[in-house]
Amino acid sequence: ELAKDKLARLATAIGKDGATHAVLTDPSSIAWAFNIRGGDVPHTPLALGFAILAADGSHQLFMDKRKFSRQIAA
């Protein structure tokens, strides 16, 4: 499933519950929602960071950009 589809479903769920935003801090939740992998946690494909998701479908992902490949960082 594409990340944009997951993020749209999450936005709908956030709004349905009457909230305006949700914060993701669990690395596995972030990996699932954004379809990203990293190497921040030994022996796992997880990247550390957090995300803010809004009911209007917008989102912000906060991670150490120094760890991104050039293609992703651009």
Report the chain's terminal Cα–Cα distance, integer Å. 24
Helices 3-16 and 27-34 sit at what angle, rounded to 10 degrees? 120
- On average, the pLDDT of the chain sits at 93
Question: Could you identify the residue written with the tokens 């030994």?
Answer: 42
Range of the domain at 47: 3-73
| pLDDT tier, 70 (very low <50, low <70, confident <90, very high otherwise) | confident
State the total domains in the chain: 1
Q: Note the pLDDT of residue 67.
A: 80
pTM for the model stands at: 0.87
- Give tens-digit pLDDT for 60-69: 999 988 887 7
What average pLDDT score do residues 32-58 get? 95
Q: Note the pLDDT of residue 58.
A: 98
CATH number at residue 34: 3.40.350.10
Alpha helix locations (H) across the chain? 3-16, 27-34, 70-73
27: nearest Cα among 6, 9, 48, 44: 48
